[in-house]
Structure 1
């Protein structure tokens, strides 16, 4: 599965768990950290964990290893590293505090086919 297809699958998994404001950023020209970021948020810790778990399961079902999963227990900002794609699942309070979309404002958005794209 190529990165664009995996991004769409992960975005759909987030949407299935009712993640809000799902955004994918193409980081190729602005960062060496990863090729893509997916950013979304949940309204409580349990939802944040469910979203992160769905991302992990979707990546693994599609033959990708999750390199790192950080922040799961606290569920305020969970980072799911799928190699070329890094997913940031925030608690709503943390999402707007860190504002990654503004921080990485030079990154192009990747079109997603989900109802809640931001």
Structure 2
């Protein structure tokens, strides 16, 4: 028996300028399953999560490096980075938004979209 999960709450939402740069950079590196969650009504520590996957640790690194490089060009510096050594999950904190880049297995294991199920999923 399979349980049916409710459809995600998908809305068009305006978001801060650098997020479109994150999305473009992730797409340029062929990130899979790109999702933006609006946490402004759910979280006190950040406004948005950007979640995506790379098919391998090498691709996860390439996506992370591409995002970092793109945001530095537009004058946005990360606050904190974790996960580069293992590259199953790279987290880049930009304070107003946090980027999570996973391998598929790690993304399934942590299931951030389910954990933050009450958040609005931003239509891309």
Q: TM-score, normalised by structure 1?
A: 0.89
Kindly indicate whether residue 56 of structure 2 is the aligned counterpart of residue 56 of structure 1. no
Cα distance in 2 for partners of 1:41, 1:97 equals 13
Write out aligned runs for 1:1-118 (5 A). 3-112=15-124
- How far the C-alpha of 1:4 sits from its partner, in A, is 3.1
Q: Which protein has the bigger helix share?
A: 1
In structure 2, list runs of 5 or more residues that go unmatched.
Answer: 1-13
| Structure showing greater Rg | 2
- Structure 1 stretches of at least 4 aligned residues deviating more than 4 Å after TM superposition: none
In structure 1, list runs of 5 or more residues that go unmatched.
Answer: 113-118
The change in CA–CA distance for 1:92 and 1:73 in structure 2 (over 3 A counts) is same
* RMSD value, Cα: 1.3
Aligned residues: 111
Cα distance in 1 for partners of 2:72, 2:117 equals 30
